[in-house]
Structure 1
Amino acid sequence: MKAFGKILGIIVLVLLLLVVAAGFVLTHFFDPNDYKEEIRQLARGKANVELNLKGDIGWSLFPWLGLELHDTSVATLQQPAQPFADVQLLGMSVRVLPLLRKELQMSDIRVEGLTLSLSRDKNGAGNWENIGKPVQPATGTPPAAQPVPGEASKPTESAPRQAMKLDIDSLTVKNARIDYADAQSGKQYSVEGIELTTGAIREGSSIPLKLSAYLGTNQPVLRARTELTGNLRFDRALKRYQLEDAKLSGEASGDPFQGKTATFSAQGQLVLDQAAQVAEWNGLKLSVNQLRALGELKARELDKEPKFDGGLSIAPFNLREFLEGIGQTLPAMADGTTLSKLELATRLAGTRNSLNLDDIKLKLDDSSFGGSLGIADFSKQAIRAQLSGDRLNLDRYLPAKVKKAQEATSAARKAEVETTTQNAIKGDTPLPNSPTQQAWSDAPVLPIARLRALDLDIGLSLGQLTIDKLPINDASLKLRGQGGLLSLDDLRGELYDGKFNAKASLDVRQDIPLLKAQKHIADVPVERLLESQDQKPPVKGLLDLDADITTQGNSQKAWIDNLNGTARFVMTQGVLLNANLEQQLCQGIATLNRKSLSAEHGGKDTPFRELQGNLTFRNGVASNPDLKASIPGLTVKGDGDIDLRVLGMDYRIGVIIEGDKSDMPDPACEVNKRYVGIEWPLRCRGPLELGAKACRLDKDGIGKIAARLAGDRLNEKLEEKLGDKVSPELKDALKGLFKKK
């Protein structure tokens, strides 16, 4: 037995020496470079590619099955002169004996100078699509499969495949590049300077990796430097992949950033579960320049229409500085300190083409908001919002250019008004001239192209909304827009202890925008409205207004010039400021009585119980044929126009004296029974700012009244003289001779 064992040992030793000797002979006397042409033919027949082996092939057989390729390229058979893959060095080696146990034990895998050039032609075909397909015969029909002898008699077996166990010392990729070009869209993408290093690659173990590259596009021109680090762990049986402690960082620049640079980083734990078709990003930390955010994301149904949800919290930061830092130019605003603070916390949900933010807690400058905000369709810019907030001053965010243009436009008018005001001193100065200078800006207001593209459905409620300097409390609005037609379905709120509501529409489907509006105002102090527009109010009182107007254009001037429609107004508890109509009327009465006033009458203002009328707008001029006002002791009627284009007025006012109701009337101003029912004429003309200062007694009308009163007086004397001495018919005829029409 000992001899047998010794013999067996000798045989094994001899066999081992033979294997080693065979490996030595194969690796030293067999040169694979002599078979390059056969290898090329094999690549053409099996992989349908043109393999160009320019450099030497290095190899080893035992105990490592090793291979090194130098200066090798791969092209399609259709375009053999245009390789889509080129590598300067590809080196790897595998242990031979573990392969028999379904184990893949490899040393370092090295790839250097790899270049992949992928492209789609104008028909959408990729230059890689025929790789691996069998070569078609010249006739274009696929070759028939040849049966293998004895194969038909073998039963079909469906034994489960055993996954090969991986054990790779490391993977190293240096100076690699990937280019992609799409002839249909003209877009080009590149990933260059790719550097990848890993630790030992073993299933179920943590695999450290580091990847860096430069990304670039041409539409728009964009370039980014990126670096990714983390620890990869995978389980092929469970189809579960994890990237732990992942950190992506880098810088981006290009056309979208207008010469500025965005420095970014993202961290977290990434999980992909292919069995459940779920991907997660936990412990998310994101930063872009000074922006800092935390959150988590989860995507599901990856094999269908992916859906994602999660949470996001953005720390307070200066939005204006952030946008300027990434090259985004903000429109000029009336307040240059706006957008200086933004803070956000929300829940996220969406798909590839939509995004919705729920449970919003948003702080913008000094405003706070809650609710939901989203984009229902990115391709259509379909914005959906239901928000509520404490306050918002929209005037701070209005374009400053429009405001400056308005000030420049109204400068000439201000000078005209000042000159008119200086001349319109109370009393006997001539009637002021009507203003002629345009009061409105012709600068464009609406971004027509943007408005046409909007798809809106917005609901907003605010504790206080300031717009056009008007403080609106408990404001709410509903706004819809699609296809260039925007509708303000409802806008309501409280204004200076009064109330208002409005509806409006804006049609920008044609070249000239068309605007329509319906407004209702109740119990709003009119003087507060005028003061908010930096106008000195000529009256005080509570205003009720109903208006239905239309206009067109894209500037304040165009809107006023094309203003048409109707309005009805009623003002109660009114006061004409800086207008002592009582004094002027008493002066007129005293003149007729041929007496002098013993004292001043009334105060500096004239109160009235009611002011009402109807307005008809025609191309910026408001006609008011039925103005009525009720003043203690007086009734006022008016007929005139308000030219909104120059903010001027031209009215004829009739004042009917009802009698002096004071306890001790001034004898000079005492209303004679002859004056009761007489309509005393006034003419008001000039800038609206003058108010009652633009009004004068109509001297021609006063003369007619005096003549009529003289005739009435003569008729009274005839009545006294004639008495019953003549017939009634004769008395009427005589009175008619002296009656003035």
Structure 2
Amino acid sequence: MKAFGKILGLTLLGLLLIIVALGFALTHFFDPNDYKDEIRKLVRDRAHVELTLNGDIGWSLFPWLGLELHDASVATLSEPSKPFADLQMLGLSVRVLPLLRKEVQMSDVRVEGLNLTLTRDENGHGNWEDIGKVPATAANPAQPPATPDAPANTASAKPDKQWQPLKLDIDSLTVNNARIDFNDIPKARQFTAESIQLSTGPIHNATDIPLKLTAFLSTNQPVVRTKTELTGKLRFDRALKRYQLDDMRFSGEAAGDPLQGKTLTFSAQGQLLADMSANVAEWTNLKLSANQLRALGELHVRDLDKTPQLTGGISIAQLNLRDFLDGVGQPAPPLGDGSLNKLELVTRIAATPTSVSLDDLRVKLDDSTITGHVAVEDFAKQSLRLQLKADAFDADRYRKPEGEQAKSAGAARRAEVQGAEAEAMVASGTSPLPNQPTQGAWSDAKLLPLERLRKLDVDADLSFGKLTLEKLPIQNAALKTSALDGVITVSSLRGDLYNGNFEVKGDLDARPEVPLARVQTRVAKVPVEHFIQSQGTTPPLRGLLNLTSDVTAKGNSEKALVESLNGTASFALNDGVLVNANLEQQLCRGISTLNRKSLSGEPRGKDTPFQQLNGNLVFRNGVASNPDLKVRTPGLTVNGDGDIDLRVMGMNYRVGVIIEGDKSDMPDPACEVNPRFVGIEWPVLCRGPLEMGAKACRLDNDGLGKVAAKLAGDRIGDKIDEKLGDKVSPELKDAIKGLFKR
């Protein structure tokens, strides 16, 4: 028995020595470089690619099947002279015996100087699409067609054994100095990944594989260059089709034309999972950073085999949005002071390849907190849906500063008004009427981006606890608007303002070259002085405004819209006051002149109160005609008829003041109202800049002469009645009175 064991051992030892000797002989006396042509032909026939071996082939047989290729390239059979891949060196070795068990056990795999060139030609055909394909010209025309009646191959008739994946066992994978070039000729776009370095730990199925990948990425449209690094632990299970990348960190720096000379430092971290059996993927413990921006969240994707559905959530920590935009070469638009200084966001996300929705949205922008829902229902149609609520929002803060053209027009306008006011001696009331203004009050700068408006598909429902607009503090503001196919509709814009309220409705048709707008307005009990003051003008009057209007306009600038303004309006101003204009004193001055007496004191007040002011307006091409102005003040009734030229913000009014009697406790004796003056309409002319209000009003001297003549005629008539009494007939007395009234 011992002898048998000894013989068996010697036999095995002998066989091992023979195998080693054969391996030594094969590796030392068999040179694969002598068979390069056969190798190229074998690759051409089996893999259908053109292999070029310019360098030496090194190899070993046992116990490792080792191979080294130097200076090799691969091309498609359709373009064998244009390699799509080449490398300086590929080195790998495989254990021989495990191959018999369908196990791949490799030592270190090294790839040096790999260059991959991918090109899409003018016809949109990619050179990678021909890999492994046999050109039509290479087919053998002499090959006889298959005989239909030939017996089927018995081997093929046998059922295939269930495929089992090879077991991978690699000590490490190293790729040094690789490069990938992609050139899309029809779009003139290029993408390059260069200086690619990849290193891994041992590669085994269902185990963590440490990896590190670095590369420099660049594109030409736009010109961007990025330095990147990816680290993590890769785990895969080929049987379960499950892939994970734990402790993932992707970081780098980017520079280029979009960044305007600035640098973007970015990183992304988290755990990645793709389960192809369940058709789901996820990114958990998500952390993003880009310069000052910091974000946390998680993302989940399902239905990878159909239409992917993404859900998740994200939060962005507070940052200075203006500084962030400046840091990435995208300066913030020129908005008001204090805008875009603080931004913070939390939201849930739901998305498909064609849509995205932000639900439970909460945004803190500067001093505002905004909550609600934002969605783009169709990326192609840019279908935007908004449902937002803000506690407070200062819209003026986010408006562009006034343009230079508007500034110059405004300066000229203000200079004209100031000059008119300087010439107006309101205290004495003896200066001539100011001239009608001539300077335009509105800018002709482009107001609306028509092309963008024509593409809008918007449905918005916005509400604000407090909205500041044109310096007006609007409480409980709400806006419902929609836009589709170039028609923008404001269903309702309403709010409370200074214990009053308002509502605006309208639409804008942006389809024609000259857009057309229609606006309907309702204002109830809103202090009018705040409207005027918000425009940077000192209010000439105060009171509670009630207004209804229905107007149309066309154009794409303030100037064009005002000059084409047409429509109607009615207004009423209750509890009003004419500021810095004692109209009663001016009337008293006129009465004292008729009484041939001098005023004994200074004016008792600088304002003129009135109980009501109302009328109707008809707009024709920017000029508002007001034929029925009615004003009531204590002891006076005022009737007005005139125009307001909105194009230059000027007025031209003829006003009639009817004296109803002096109601004051201590009237000035010089202007004591004679009973015969009651019911007389005293003429007043108002002309000049609208901002001057009553400062631009003067007694009409010509009209005053007619009043005096009428009063004189009435006085003579009284004398005739006194002298003649009942001595003559009434007809004769009327004829005599008529002689003195001509």
TM-score range, shorter chain: over 0.9
Deviations 1:86-107 (A, max 9, x none): 1111111110111112211011
For 2:446 and 2:463, how far apart are their aligned partners in 1?
29
The one-letter amino acid paired with 1:276 is A
Tell me what 2:614 maps to.
Answer: 612
- CA 1:138/1:342 → structure 2, altered by over 3 Å: closer, same or farther? closer
Using the TM superposition, give the Cα deviation of residue 668 of structure 1 relative to its aligned residue in structure 2, in angstroms.
Answer: 4.2
The one-letter amino acid paired with 1:730 is L
Tell me what 1:417 maps to.
Answer: 417
Using the TM superposition, give the Cα deviation of residue 481 of structure 1 relative to its aligned residue in structure 2, in angstroms.
Answer: 2.2
Deviations 1:220-241 (A, max 9, x none): 1111110000111111122111
The one-letter amino acid paired with 1:408 is S
* Structure 2 residues not aligned, in runs of 5+: none
Query: Are the equivalent residues in 1 in contact too, given 2:254–2:265 (CA < 8 A)?
Result: yes
For 2:442 and 2:259, how far apart are their aligned partners in 1?
37
Tell me what 2:738 maps to.
Answer: 736
Tell me what 2:62 maps to.
Answer: 62
1:41-440 residue pairs with structure 2 within 5 A?
41-134=41-134, 136=136, 144=145, 151-152=153-154, 155-335=157-337, 337-402=338-403, 405-426=405-426, 427-440=429-442
For 2:611 and 2:313, how far apart are their aligned partners in 1?
60
Q: Residue 588 of structure 2 is aligned with which of 586, 589, 592? A: 586
SS at match of 2:305: coil
For 2:203 and 2:59, how far apart are their aligned partners in 1?
23
SS at match of 1:169: strand
For 1:46 and 1:602, how far apart are their aligned partners in 2?
113
Tell me what 2:38 maps to.
Answer: 38
- CA 1:134/1:421 → structure 2, altered by over 3 Å: closer, same or farther? closer
SS at match of 1:535: coil
Query: Are the equivalent residues in 2 in contact too, given 1:45–1:135 (CA < 8 A)?
Result: no
For 1:136 and 1:406, how far apart are their aligned partners in 2?
71
For 2:3 and 2:44, how far apart are their aligned partners in 1?
56
Q: Check if 1:29 corresponds to 2:29.
A: yes
Deviations 1:627-672 (A, max 9, x none): 1111122111101111222222111001112223445655543433
SS at match of 1:125: coil
Q: Check if 1:671 corresponds to 2:673.
A: yes
SS at match of 1:503: strand
SS at match of 2:434: coil
Using the TM superposition, give the Cα deviation of residue 41 of structure 1 relative to its aligned residue in structure 2, in angstroms.
Answer: 1.6
Deviations 1:107-143 (A, max 9, x none): 1111111111112223322212232235546679898
- CA 1:660/1:134 → structure 2, altered by over 3 Å: closer, same or farther? same
Using the TM superposition, give the Cα deviation of residue 67 of structure 1 relative to its aligned residue in structure 2, in angstroms.
Answer: 1.3
The one-letter amino acid paired with 1:71 is D
Query: Are the equivalent residues in 2 in contact too, given 1:454–1:483 (CA < 8 A)?
Result: yes
For 1:447 and 1:100, how far apart are their aligned partners in 2?
72
Q: With the length of structure 2 as denominator, give the TM-score of the two structures.
A: 0.95
Q: Residue 441 of structure 1 is aligned with which of 440, 443, 457? A: 443
Tell me what 2:724 maps to.
Answer: 722
- CA 1:584/1:135 → structure 2, altered by over 3 Å: closer, same or farther? closer
Using the TM superposition, give the Cα deviation of residue 690 of structure 1 relative to its aligned residue in structure 2, in angstroms.
Answer: 1.8
SS at match of 1:128: helix
Q: Check if 1:561 corresponds to 2:558.
A: no
Which shows bigger deviation, 594-603 or 224-233? 594-603
For 2:603 and 2:176, how far apart are their aligned partners in 1?
101
The one-letter amino acid paired with 2:90 is L
Using the TM superposition, give the Cα deviation of residue 55 of structure 1 relative to its aligned residue in structure 2, in angstroms.
Answer: 1.0
The one-letter amino acid paired with 1:503 is K
Using the TM superposition, give the Cα deviation of residue 583 of structure 1 relative to its aligned residue in structure 2, in angstroms.
Answer: 1.9
State, as a whole percentage, how many aligned pairs show the same letter.
63
For 2:502 and 2:138, how far apart are their aligned partners in 1?
83
Which shows bigger deviation, 451-460 or 640-649? 451-460
User: What's the C-alpha RMSD, in Å, of the aligned pairs?
Assistant: 2.3
For 1:496 and 1:6, how far apart are their aligned partners in 2?
114
Using the TM superposition, give the Cα deviation of residue 589 of structure 1 relative to its aligned residue in structure 2, in angstroms.
Answer: 2.4
For 1:280 and 1:586, how far apart are their aligned partners in 2?
86
Query: Are the equivalent residues in 2 in contact too, given 1:173–1:194 (CA < 8 A)?
Result: yes
- CA 1:327/1:146 → structure 2, altered by over 3 Å: closer, same or farther? farther
The one-letter amino acid paired with 1:625 is P
Using the TM superposition, give the Cα deviation of residue 710 of structure 1 relative to its aligned residue in structure 2, in angstroms.
Answer: 1.8
Query: Are the equivalent residues in 2 in contact too, given 1:582–1:602 (CA < 8 A)?
Result: no
For 1:334 and 1:447, how far apart are their aligned partners in 2?
21
- CA 1:249/1:26 → structure 2, altered by over 3 Å: closer, same or farther? same
Query: Are the equivalent residues in 2 in contact too, given 1:334–1:397 (CA < 8 A)?
Result: yes
Query: Are the equivalent residues in 2 in contact too, given 1:45–1:134 (CA < 8 A)?
Result: no
The one-letter amino acid paired with 1:90 is L
For 1:79 and 1:155, how far apart are their aligned partners in 2?
38
For 1:74 and 1:186, how far apart are their aligned partners in 2?
25
The one-letter amino acid paired with 2:505 is K
The one-letter amino acid paired with 1:109 is V
Query: Are the equivalent residues in 1 in contact too, given 2:541–2:577 (CA < 8 A)?
Result: yes
For 2:156 and 2:702, how far apart are their aligned partners in 1?
127
Query: Are the equivalent residues in 2 in contact too, given 1:136–1:143 (CA < 8 A)?
Result: no
Deviations 1:354-407 (A, max 9, x none): 2221112211111111111233333443332211111111111211243x5433
Tell me what 2:642 maps to.
Answer: 640
* Structure 1 residues not aligned, in runs of 5+: none
Tell me what 1:689 maps to.
Answer: 691
Query: Are the equivalent residues in 1 in contact too, given 2:192–2:219 (CA < 8 A)?
Result: yes
Tell me what 1:11 maps to.
Answer: 11
For 1:155 and 1:464, how far apart are their aligned partners in 2?
80
Using the TM superposition, give the Cα deviation of residue 545 of structure 1 relative to its aligned residue in structure 2, in angstroms.
Answer: 1.0
Query: Are the equivalent residues in 2 in contact too, given 1:137–1:143 (CA < 8 A)?
Result: no
The one-letter amino acid paired with 1:384 is R
- CA 1:424/1:143 → structure 2, altered by over 3 Å: closer, same or farther? farther
- CA 1:559/1:320 → structure 2, altered by over 3 Å: closer, same or farther? same
Deviations 1:436-471 (A, max 9, x none): 222233333334444344332222111111111111
- CA 1:369/1:540 → structure 2, altered by over 3 Å: closer, same or farther? same
- CA 1:651/1:53 → structure 2, altered by over 3 Å: closer, same or farther? same
Tell me what 2:573 maps to.
Answer: 571
Using the TM superposition, give the Cα deviation of residue 39 of structure 1 relative to its aligned residue in structure 2, in angstroms.
Answer: 1.7
Query: Are the equivalent residues in 1 in contact too, given 2:226–2:252 (CA < 8 A)?
Result: yes
Using the TM superposition, give the Cα deviation of residue 268 of structure 1 relative to its aligned residue in structure 2, in angstroms.
Answer: 0.8
1:699-714 residue pairs with structure 2 within 5 A?
699-714=701-716
For 2:459 and 2:145, how far apart are their aligned partners in 1?
62
The one-letter amino acid paired with 2:553 is T
For 1:145 and 1:275, how far apart are their aligned partners in 2?
39
SS at match of 1:251: strand
Using the TM superposition, give the Cα deviation of residue 602 of structure 1 relative to its aligned residue in structure 2, in angstroms.
Answer: 5.3
For 2:102 and 2:360, how far apart are their aligned partners in 1?
53
For 1:530 and 1:154, how far apart are their aligned partners in 2?
93
SS at match of 1:333: coil
SS at match of 1:715: helix
Deviations 1:268-312 (A, max 9, x none): 111111111111111111110111111111111111111111111
